[in-house]
Structure 1
Amino acid sequence: MFSSLAVSLLVATLAAAAPGILTIGDSTVTDDAGWGKGFCADTTGLARCINLAVSGTTTVSWQSQPQYSSMLTECKNANTYATIQFGHNDQKVMDTATFASNLESLTNKIKTAGCSPILVTSLCRRTFSGSTLTDILGPYSNQTVAIAKKLDLPVLPLLADCMTYIQKLGKPNAMQFNLDYPNNTDTTHLNAMGSRYFGRMVADEVKKNVPALTGNIVADPVLSAKIAAGTL
């Protein structure tokens, strides 16, 4: 009986110690149009991997969603991390200084709730001028990097990684990630293949930049090599 009780207590202790991850952001993080589902599929040994991203939201409007309350509850669980990626919708309605202030405020709220924040720069849009990938999210991603440095938090350079990969890949192949492929009117959101590739990109950055979660990332050397080489 004692042995069984000891084993049960050990299992419970190990389960309680397992980390959890929340993914917070706009539509480019959601399960149905972003990289969140692909990222969670690349994890192992987590207590939970919960997507709290909401389409159309900014650093401000996300806080009025039910997912904000869910974050407050989930962050009470020990050893819970939260990836935070905004910018796509903020860029439409606020300048970079306001975005930085709002992102810092939201990040501090998430940290105060009990989570360990991980900032993520925006997923790039797959828009081209001729054969050159264009970008208007850079100034907002620069602010994300600056806030991470100010708060001494890890930051995942998804925008830079995305732009490097898509530029190598070229426009015809990049369109295959579009949510509405082959119509290709939506070069922002991701289909299932896009979620897999860019979820992998985020997972590799977590493994590189968040040592505490290295053991929770499942390696996929074939896909990682394709991303590094700029191929499908």
Structure 2
Amino acid sequence: MSGWGASLGFFLPLGTVVRNFAKGGATTDSLRADGLWNALLSELEPADLVLLQLGHNDQKSDAPDAVDHYRDNLAAMVADVHRRAGRPVLCTSVQRRRFDGGRLVDTHGAFPTAVRELASELTVPLVDLTRRTTALLESRGEDGSRRLFTHLPPGAHPNYPDGVADDTHFAYAGADAVAEIVAREIQPFVEENVTV
């Protein structure tokens, strides 16, 4: 199991420093509460590119204002990065592997649209990973896309003695495929450092 941030450096120019602050299960609230956001800001150098991709777990909230809360939190993060002369990039959520009739089923509701609109409103770059990863998974098909995610039979790995079929978290192959997409999308903005 791996996130695309862990693989990103392999697809960027030699010498690019990638600092990955991503944490499984994180929300825009928990990043602050756990101190990860402050840790990221404390290491941020002027002109660093900061990639903000959340939403999987924010989306699980049943609060009626969950999308607005998520959007407000992202806007505050963008402002924090700008105050430190960093360069924020908003990313929509990566797609989950949920197929129906050969097409992926949307599981993120209004959250990706909120990110797209915020990027436009704040005039910050957008990497539309929801659309890009939808295309990736659909191009591989329901069976072929399975290898991009954490699927193991019983006994194949000591961490999963009973096996695992996780269609949200990437295997290394999936993390690499998404990192390659992100690297292509941010190439025009990359200077020296990237923070995820």
Fold-level similarity (TM above 0.5)? yes
Q: Structure 1 or 2: larger helix share?
A: 1
Aligned partners of 1:35 and 1:63: how far apart in 2?
A: 21
The answer (yes or no) to whether the contact 1:178–1:184 under 8 Å persists in 2 is: no
2:40 is aligned to 71
Question: Are 1:147 and 2:113 matched, yes or no?
Answer: no
3-state SS of paired residue (1:118): strand
Aligned partners of 1:148 and 1:79: how far apart in 2?
A: 18
Please tell me the residue identity of whatever aligns with 1:51.
N
1:219 is aligned to none
The percent of aligned pairs where both chains have the same amino acid is 25
2:190 is aligned to 213
Question: Are 1:172 and 2:137 matched, yes or no?
Answer: no
1:189 is aligned to 169
Question: Which runs of no fewer than 5 residues in structure 2 stay unpaired?
Answer: 154-162
Aligned partners of 1:196 and 1:144: how far apart in 2?
A: 23
Question: Are 1:89 and 2:57 matched, yes or no?
Answer: yes
2:159 is aligned to none
Q: Structure 1 or 2: larger strand share?
A: 2
RMSD (Å) for aligned C-alpha atoms: 2.2
3-state SS of paired residue (2:169): coil
Aligned partners of 2:170 and 2:41: how far apart in 1?
A: 28
Please tell me the residue identity of whatever aligns with 1:74.
E
Higher relative contact order (CA 8 A, sep 6+): 2
The answer (yes or no) to whether the contact 2:67–2:111 under 8 Å persists in 1 is: yes
1:70 CA displacement: 2.0
* Alpha-carbon distance change, 69 to 214 in structure 1, aligned in 2, over 3 angstroms: closer
- Aligned positions, number: 182
The answer (yes or no) to whether the contact 1:148–1:154 under 8 Å persists in 2 is: yes
* Aligned match for 1:57, one of 26, 32, 48: 26
Please tell me the residue identity of whatever aligns with 1:131.
G
1:33 CA displacement: 2.3
Single out whichever of 43-52 and 138-147 deviates more from structure 2. 43-52
3-state SS of paired residue (2:181): helix
Please tell me the residue identity of whatever aligns with 1:204.
R
* Aligned match for 1:101, one of 54, 69, 72: 72
